[in-house]
Structure formats: C-alpha cells, structure tokens
C-alpha cells in the first residue's frame, strides 16, 4: 500500500514538473502570449496556468509585457521570456579554433569569443583549461553569476559518448577517451553536455537556421572533415552508439584511392579538403584551399576538373543519403560550400543526373544559413534542453 501511495505521489510531482515545462515551452515558442491562450493550447485550467506562470515569474524566467488587444476590444496581459533570466554557453571545438558563445534565455547570441588554437600542438588538458578559463572570464566580464547559467553545451568532432560526456575518439583533435564534460563541469561549476559537432550543428540549423520548419533533415558537411547528421521528427538520429552519419568512410569505389584508415575508396579521399589540396598540388604548388577556388574562378581547366569531380562525388553522396534516409531537406555546410558557394550550381547539374528519379523532387538542397555560428547556437540549445527537460 505504501508503495502504491509513493507511486501516486511521485506521479503527481512528475505531472506538475511536466506541466511547468510545458507552459515554459509554450511561452518560449509563441511569445508574447496571454495566460488564456496558454490555457487553450495546453488544455490546462486557468488556475493551474496562473500558478505556474507565477512560479516562473518568481524564478525570473518569465515577465509580463504590454497589454495587447485580443481582437474583441478586451486587452490581455501578455507574457514573454525574461532574456536575462538564464544564460547558456555554446562551444564549438575545431582543429584550429575554438568559438565560445554566450546566449541569453531568448537564445540570442550576445557575444562570441574566438580562440586561435591548434589541437595538435596542445594537449586536451591544456585545451580544457583554456576553455574553462575563457568561459569564467566571459561571465565575469558580463557580470553574470554562474548560478544564472543553465548549462554549457559543447560540439566537437569525433565519436562522442554524449550520455557519459566522453570524447571517445576524435581523429581531428587527436583525442582518445577524454572525459570532457566532467572536466569542464569541475573547473566551472556549470553543468555541461557534449555531442558530436555535426549533431549539434543540425540542431542549430533546425532551431534557428536553414532547417526551420522541416523535421526530416539531413546535414552534409564537406570541408576539412566529412560527415552528416539527421533530425527526424525533432530528434537527432543517433544509431546504436551515437555514430550514425559517419559519411567520410562510406566506400565510393572499392578499387579507388587508399584512405588514411587503410581501406580503399572512402568518400573523404574524393571530396575532403586535404584530398582536393593533394590533387591541386600535383599541378601547382598552392598553399591554401582558397587558391584552388581562385583558379576555378579564373577558369583554369585543371582546377575546374578537380572541383567538378568533387561535385560529382558530393552529388553521388546526396543520392546515397537520400536513398537511405529519405529526408525532405538536405543542408550543405562546411568550408567547401561556405567559401565556394558556386558549387551549389555544379551540384544541381550533377544531381539531375545521379539522383534516382523517384526521389528527385522529394527534397530540397540548401546551404547552411548560420555558417560559423550553427554549432555554438546548437550547443547552447542542447545545454538548455538537457537542463530544462531533466
């Protein structure tokens, strides 16, 4: 008997917590909004909505705004998020730079700091100290107490145990089994979540950028790293061990180029930045990828040939991903797309040949809209979600 009583009690707490979360989510997504509209949407009683809004206001998360006419002459008090009620930190770790962003409760990016660093020259310990110090400095500078920070979210390339907060393996960073979330939490006192950078990136595009309004979206990243991620019905698709979407080592041709992984014909040997540079350097001693793009723009045949072959293989990849995932939107991101936007036209031409006909009109291809900021914004959103829903 006491057992079942305990269960009922617990259930009530769970329901109360759920209802509070629901009201906060409704305000966040439909602000400004009146109490009666919240009642209508949530099907909760006016009394309950009133109590919950009171609690949220007391916690500094929600505020009343101006009176607004509701159409029939009556005026209602509208509710909005209190932007300064909570903050989140989003961190984007890449090979050569780290970007740390501060978002307010309305998920606006207030400020971002870019740290030049080279993961290959500094250990994971040094990198962690650098990040934690920068976060604390940023909060100090803005006079934001750590208690007002809902969480830190980090997007990082590699195989990530996002439940355990561990970077299991990242060839980009040269890290193995780094307990990143725990270390950052220890140094800052702020709850921290981590995930694979492309999973965080698609979350950013889904919430704030190119994928708004689509919920069957694939993101394909082509640059120094090759990868993909998928959002389906609002959830990040993870596969068995959070490693779904590892595009770079899909086999394009079993008798093709040898890859650094030891097998032949991996996609990344056809389209990633180092593959394009290796090809280009057979013809001309160029330094950076930008020089290749310049040569294409100057219509030099060897450069056009290199980019055209890459575009063909990206189009093939789009076909293969569309066949397996059947998305309605494909977002392209990464340096190749962001620094050489003309590639979209080339892709369009190749796709009209290599995409299987029944799928040809089933999806749109668009470029990332948030560019350098999608991981920071997505990581912040991940932190906010994890904290407010757990």
Residues forming the site for a copy of itself (CB under 8 A):
4, 7, 43, 45, 159, 169, 216, 228, 232, 237-247, 249-254, 261-264, 266, 312-313, 316, 319-321, 323-328, 353-354, 356-359, 362-363
- Considering beta carbons, is residue 139 or 167 the nearer one to a copy of itself? 167
User: How far apart (Å, rounded) are the C-alpha atoms in residues 205 and 227?
Assistant: 15
- Considering beta carbons, is residue 208 or 363 the nearer one to a copy of itself? 363
CB of 243 to a copy of itself, least distance (A): 4
Distances (CA, A) of 288 to 37, 135, 270, 295: 55, 31, 18, 12
Which of 301, 360, 310 lies closest to 330 in space, CA to CA? 360
Pair of tokens at residue 316: 């093939």
CB of 255 to a copy of itself, least distance (A): 9
Compute the chain's Rg from CA coordinates.
24
Upper half-sphere CA count for residue 86 (Cβ side, 13 Å): 25
Distances (CA, A) of 264 to 183, 250, 251, 257, 283: 38, 10, 7, 5, 24
The residues, any chain, with a CB within 8 Å of residue 31's CB and separated by 6 or more, are: 78, 79, 80, 81
CB of 326 to a copy of itself, least distance (A): 3
CB of 251 to a copy of itself, least distance (A): 4
User: How far apart (Å, rounded) are the C-alpha atoms in residues 381 and 225?
Assistant: 23
CB of 188 to a copy of itself, least distance (A): 31
- Considering beta carbons, is residue 120 or 258 the nearer one to a copy of itself? 258
Helix (H, G, I), strand (E, B) or coil at 305: helix
Query: Phi first, then psi: what are they for 86, rounded to 5°?
Result: -150, 155
- Considering beta carbons, is residue 112 or 159 the nearer one to a copy of itself? 159
CB of 333 to a copy of itself, least distance (A): 17
Maximum Cα–Cα distance across the chain:
82
- Considering beta carbons, is residue 5 or 116 the nearer one to a copy of itself? 5
Helix (H, G, I), strand (E, B) or coil at 103: strand
CB of 159 to a copy of itself, least distance (A): 7
CB of 309 to a copy of itself, least distance (A): 9
- Considering beta carbons, is residue 122 or 320 the nearer one to a copy of itself? 320
- Considering beta carbons, is residue 77 or 159 the nearer one to a copy of itself? 159
- Considering beta carbons, is residue 134 or 257 the nearer one to a copy of itself? 257
- Considering beta carbons, is residue 108 or 352 the nearer one to a copy of itself? 352
CB of 76 to a copy of itself, least distance (A): 19
**Residues pairing with 178 in the sheet:** 167
User: How far apart (Å, rounded) are the C-alpha atoms in residues 257 and 263?
Assistant: 8
Query: Phi first, then psi: what are they for 389, rounded to 5°?
Result: -105, 10
User: How far apart (Å, rounded) are the C-alpha atoms in residues 109 and 103?
Assistant: 4
């Amino acid at each position: 008997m006491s057992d079942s009583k305990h269960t009922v009690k617990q259930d009530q707490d769970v329901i109360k917590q759920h209802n509070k979360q629901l009201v906060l989510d409704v305000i966040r997504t439909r602000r400004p909004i009146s109490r009666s509209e919240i009642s209508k949407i949530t099907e909760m009683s006016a009394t309950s909505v009133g109590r919950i809004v009171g609690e949220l206001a007391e916690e500094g998360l929600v505020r009343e705004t101006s009176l607004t006419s509701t159409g029939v002459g009556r005026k209602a008090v509208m509710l909005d998020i209190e932007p300064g009620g909570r903050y989140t930190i989003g961190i984007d770790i890449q090979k050569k730079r780290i970007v740390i962003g501060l978002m307010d409760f309305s998920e606006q990016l207030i400020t971002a700091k870019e740290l030049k660093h080279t993961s290959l020259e500094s250990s994971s310990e040094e990198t962690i100290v650098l990040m934690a110090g920068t976060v604390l400095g940023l909060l100090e500078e803005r006079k934001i107490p750590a208690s007002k920070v809902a969480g830190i979210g980090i997007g990082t390339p590699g195989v990530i145990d996002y439940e355990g907060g561990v970077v299991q393996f990242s060839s980009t960073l040269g890290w193995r089994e780094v307990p990143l979330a725990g270390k950052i939490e220890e140094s800052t006192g702020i709850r921290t979540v981590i995930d694979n950078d492309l999973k965080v990136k698609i979350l950013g595009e889904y919430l704030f950028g190119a994928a708004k309004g689509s919920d069957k979206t694939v993101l394909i990243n082509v640059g120094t790293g090759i990868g993909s991620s998928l959002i389906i019905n609002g959830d990040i698709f993870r596969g068995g061990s959070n490693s779904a979407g590892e595009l770079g080592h899909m086999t394009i041709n079993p008798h093709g180029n040898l890859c650094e992984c030891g097998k032949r014909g991996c996609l990344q040997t056809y389209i990633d930045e180092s593959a394009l540079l290796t090809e280009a350097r057979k013809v001309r001693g160029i330094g950076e990828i930008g020089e290749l793009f310049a040569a294409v723009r100057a219509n030099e045949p060897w450069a056009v040939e290199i980019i055209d072959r890459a575009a063909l293989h990206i189009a093939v990849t789009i076909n293969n991903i569309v066949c397996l995932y059947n998305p309605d939107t494909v977002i392209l991101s990464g340096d190749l797309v962001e620094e050489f936007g003309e590639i979209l036209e080339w892709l369009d031409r190749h796709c009209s040949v290599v995409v299987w006909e029944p799928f040809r009109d089933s999806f749109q291809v668009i470029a990332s809209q948030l560019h350098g900021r999608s991981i920071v914004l997505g990581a912040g959103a991940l932190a906010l979600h994890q904290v407010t829903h757990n």
